[in-house]
Chains A and B, each alone.
Chain A
Amino acid sequence: MISDKEIQYIANLAELYLSEDEKKRMSAELSQILEHVEKIKELDIRDVKPTSHAVETENVFRDDEPIKPLDREEIISNAPLIEADSFKVPPII
């Protein structure tokens, strides 16, 4: 039910490299799961409001007061690659 083209499109969106085998397996597994999950399409709930937050709260804010930022050593402590105190990444073509 999910085409190979769609699998590739989704993998691109999610920035995941999948081998041909993985794509095939993923396609089969996702199709199986979707078949089960599609059950919800049976429901005519056009007029039902969607819930994004199960426990209703609103208007939570923070005052515009500065805090002390991290030390630079802490900020870059887990960085895979650093140059000139910045995070270095391969070319963005």
Chain B
Amino acid sequence: MRFYELTALQLLDLYKKREAKPSEVIESIFERIYEDDRGLKCYLTLTPERALADAKILDLKLKNSDEFGVLFGIPTAVKDLISTRGIRTTCASKILENYVPVFDATVVKKLVESDFLMVGKTNMDEFAMGSSNENSAYGPVKNPWDITRVPGGSSGGSAAAVAAGHATVALGSDTGGSIRQPASFCGIVGLKPTYGFVSRYGLVAFASSLDQIGPMTRTVEDCALLLSVISGHDLLDSTSIKRESVDYLGSLRRDVKGIKVGVPKELSGEGIDGQVLAVFRAALARMEKIGVKVEETSLPNIKYALPAYYLIAPAEASSNLARYDGVKYGFRDDGASGIREMYRRTRAKGFGREVKRRIMLGTYALSAGYYDAYYGQAQKVRTLIIKDFSDAFSRYDLLVSPTSPSTAFKLGEKVDDPLNMYLSDICTIPVNLAGLPAISLPCGQSDGLPVGFQIIGPHFSEERILNAAYALERELGLNWTVK
């Protein structure tokens, strides 16, 4: 059986019925990876020995007991931005080429406790900076729908792996859309949780006030399952929030009749590709069919979100990446005669172009004389964006938009045009600035390429978002298979 084509819930069902064994399933995944000759490069590091060894233990568990972890025997890909003890974690950068963490990220600890199987560490844009996975120091990832196109970024490897059957589920991270946009480009489901809902301990920091880890899966159900495992308060993360636990899977099937949904006109008009818009509106009509009330609304300050983000995120990143100095770990340039020279050569050689660009931009935005006009001003814009959303949520339960202004663009198309590349995030970025949860799920195709539908909710409304997404997923009945 082609286990790599099944969803997590389908696999769990087979396990329960004893119709499959974890070792068979994981072998199926690795076979799929080795036999796939398209050169997708979803992974930077594969962990077959560990996965097989763990699977054998799970086989025994299956035989002898009825107690399974929530993700029992589910082949999971972990973005290489997340620390895994004993397993190389490169962040797709040369500066961490041989860095091996001595601790697990909190989410990884939770995965281990839930009996998951780790397939490997996925390729990504270097230090999560990018929207196409072309900024990896180890080569780009290809979109399994069309290998001349990008999978999206920065969690391109995770998205492509799930779409191509190189993993059943995956973890990605999202700072300005890095889970949702690749999910949209690869035709899968991706959720960015509320800021603080999933622990960031062990997530290599890009922009601390925006980063979140989230699930990337083939179905909304799998998404709910994975979210229930990785979320929760963590004493090691001061920004993590205490919340009562919710049964996300259980509440998926609730009736959505009467839910009020707003469509911000700024995210569904000018700047969005015409065909993408058409597919999006068709999906909206289906939502109305199942009883959801749809209405146009406005987020008046949204046009300032992208500029604010491209000041805040690089500023925080410029500070977060200062630790890569060749002193304690990672790459060090040996030829330097003094410490400053060592810093400069190490960082020049270790970081890629996009990373350097953002470090420069961020340093500038924080520097003396510029702080107030740039970083300071951007933080105020952030307040406006938060208020726009909060006003909208006083009238609507959820807000929707296309996830991305376009479908997957060609490899190399935007690589030399950073500003143009940044513009592909206009629908996703505002969500991070406000710390809100949002999901992207496939809603159709445009010229044979998947289109993503974004659902945004107020803080801690993952239950409602998943509920609406599930209803739409069922109504649309797309049922795409592995690409």
Main secondary structure of the interface of B (DSSP, over half): helix
Task: Confirm or deny: B308 has a beta carbon within 8 angstroms of a beta carbon on chain A.
Answer: yes
Q: A11 CA to B384 CA in the complex, in Å?
A: 32
| A30 B347 Cβ-Cβ under 8 A | no
The answer to whether A33 and B239 touch (CB under 8 A), given A50-B380, A89-B339, is: no
Task: Confirm or deny: A16 has a beta carbon within 8 angstroms of a beta carbon on chain B.
Answer: yes
The answer to whether A39 and B459 touch (CB under 8 A), given A15-B325, A16-B344, is: no
Query: Pick the contact of B330 from A38, A80, A90 — CB < 8 Å?
Result: A80
Residues of B305-345 at the interface with A, using a CB-CB cut-off of 8 Å, are 306-308, 310-311, 318, 322, 325-332, 336-345
| B338 A92 Cβ-Cβ under 8 A | yes
Residues of A13-63 at the interface with B, using a CB-CB cut-off of 8 Å, are 13-18, 22, 26, 29-30, 32-34, 36-41, 43, 45, 48-55, 57, 60, 62
The answer to whether A26 and B434 touch (CB under 8 A), given A13-B363, A15-B325, A57-B196, is: no
**What is the distance, in angstroms, from A10's C-beta to the closest C-beta of chain B?**
5
Per-residue CB contact flags for chain B residues 408-420 toward chain A (1 = under 8 Å, else 0) read 0000000000110
Q: A33 CA to B10 CA in the complex, in Å?
A: 47
Q: How many A-B residue pairs have CB under 8 A?
A: 163
The answer to whether A17 and B347 touch (CB under 8 A), given A45-B384, A62-B235, A89-B342, is: yes
Q: Which residue of A lies closest to B326 (CB)?
A: A80
- Chain B residues, CB < 8 A from A49: 380, 383
Task: Confirm or deny: A84 has a beta carbon within 8 angstroms of a beta carbon on chain B.
Answer: no
Query: Pick the contact of B419 from A13, A32, A41 — CB < 8 Å?
Result: A32
| A45 B342 Cβ-Cβ under 8 A | no
The answer to whether A16 and B311 touch (CB under 8 A), given A45-B384, A57-B239, A89-B339, is: no
- Chain B residues, CB < 8 A from A80: 326-327, 329-332
| B310 A48 Cβ-Cβ under 8 A | no
| A10 B360 Cβ-Cβ under 8 A | yes
- Chain A residues, CB < 8 A from B363: 10, 13-14
Query: Pick the contact of A40 from B235, B241, B341, B378 — CB < 8 Å?
Result: B378
The answer to whether A17 and B348 touch (CB under 8 A), given A45-B381, A79-B328, is: yes
The answer to whether A92 and B196 touch (CB under 8 A), given A33-B418, A39-B307, is: no
| B419 A36 Cβ-Cβ under 8 A | yes
Q: A54 CA to B98 CA in the complex, in Å?
A: 35
- Chain B residues, CB < 8 A from A11: 360
The answer to whether A54 and B433 touch (CB under 8 A), given A10-B360, A14-B360, A17-B344, is: yes
- Chain A residues, CB < 8 A from B357: 26, 29-30
Q: A14 CA to B303 CA in the complex, in Å?
A: 30
- How many residues of A are counted as interface, with CB atoms below 8 angstroms from the partner's CB atoms? 51
| A50 B325 Cβ-Cβ under 8 A | no
Q: A77 CA to B98 CA in the complex, in Å?
A: 11
Q: Which residue of A lies closest to B316 (CB)?
A: A52
**What is the distance, in angstroms, from A61's C-beta to the closest C-beta of chain B?**
9
| B318 A70 Cβ-Cβ under 8 A | no
**What is the distance, in angstroms, from A70's C-beta to the closest C-beta of chain B?**
6
- Chain B residues, CB < 8 A from A10: 360, 363-364, 367
Query: Pick the contact of B379 from A32, A37, A52, A81 — CB < 8 Å?
Result: A52
The answer to whether A78 and B196 touch (CB under 8 A), given A15-B347, A17-B347, is: no
- Chain B residues, CB < 8 A from A74: 102
Task: Confirm or deny: B195 has a beta carbon within 8 angstroms of a beta carbon on chain A.
Answer: yes
Interface centre among A37, A52, A60, by most B CB within 10 Å? Answer: A37
The answer to whether A87 and B376 touch (CB under 8 A), given A17-B344, A55-B196, A92-B339, is: no
Task: Confirm or deny: B359 has a beta carbon within 8 angstroms of a beta carbon on chain A.
Answer: yes
Query: Pick the contact of A37 from B194, B307, B337, B338 — CB < 8 Å?
Result: B307
Q: A86 CA to B159 CA in the complex, in Å?
A: 41
- Chain A residues, CB < 8 A from B138: none
- Chain A residues, CB < 8 A from B328: 78-79, 87
- Chain B residues, CB < 8 A from A26: 356-357, 360
- Chain A residues, CB < 8 A from B367: 9-10, 13
| A30 B360 Cβ-Cβ under 8 A | yes
Q: A15 CA to B350 CA in the complex, in Å?
A: 12
Q: A66 CA to B388 CA in the complex, in Å?
A: 44
Sample of 26 A–B contacts (CB below 8 Å): A17-B347, A17-B348, A33-B310, A34-B361, A36-B306, A36-B310, A36-B419, A37-B307, A37-B374, A39-B304, A45-B377, A45-B380, A45-B383, A50-B379, A51-B379, A54-B382, A54-B434, A70-B102, A74-B102, A77-B102, A78-B98, A78-B330, A79-B328, A89-B339, A90-B341, A90-B342
A-B pairs with the 6 shortest C-beta distances?
A54-B435, A50-B379, A78-B329, A17-B344, A80-B332, A15-B343
Beyond A37-B311, A40-B304, A48-B384, 18 additional contacts (C-beta under 8 Å) are: A10-B364, A15-B325, A16-B344, A16-B359, A30-B364, A33-B418, A37-B310, A45-B381, A55-B239, A55-B241, A70-B102, A77-B102, A78-B98, A78-B329, A89-B327, A89-B342, A92-B339, A93-B338
